[in-house]
């Protein structure tokens, strides 16, 4: 059974970000049938918010999503991956 991870994650992450409309969530096949990768792509500053200090927010989201993967007895392993739209740009500007 394929779970709609986008519908599950949006209510959790939308209050944390400034640009809700630009959040993109995609489910990608994993290495095995049990593995699922959920890719969350956001603006650079929103990606930072979703990861949090020392990865605290990302770890909390991973915990919630892993429970959802086990809830229907499918015993799926869900992997969250965070990317920024800005990752694809060659930016020579970095804050020091």
Q: Judge contact between 74 and 30, C-beta under 8 A.
A: no
Model confidence at 1, pLDDT cuts 50, 70, 90, reads very low
**Distance, C-alpha 70 to centroid of its chain:** 18
Residue with tokens 């650079």: 44
pTM of the predicted protein model: 0.80
More confident residue, 6 or 40: 40
More confident residue, 38 or 91: 38
Alpha carbon distance 78, 85 (integer Å): 22
Mean pLDDT within 74-91? 76
What sections of 16-74 are H helices per DSSP? 44-51, 56-71
Alpha carbon distance 89, 73 (integer Å): 41
Per-residue model confidence (pLDDT) at position 93? 40
Stretch (H or E) spanning 7: helix 5-13
Mean pLDDT within 11-31? 93
């Amino acid at each position: 059974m394929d779970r709609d991870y986008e519908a599950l994650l949006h209510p959790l992450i939308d209050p944390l970000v400034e640009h809700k409309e630009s959040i993109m969530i995609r489910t990608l096949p994993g290495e095995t049938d049990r593995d699922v990768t959920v890719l969350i792509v956001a603006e650079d500053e929103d990606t930072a918010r979703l990861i949090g200090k020392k990865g605290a927010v990302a770890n909390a989201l991973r915990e919630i999503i892993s429970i959802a993967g086990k809830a229907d007895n499918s015993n799926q392993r869900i992997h969250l991956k965070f990317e920024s739209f800005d990752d694809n740009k060659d930016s020579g500007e970095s804050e020091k």
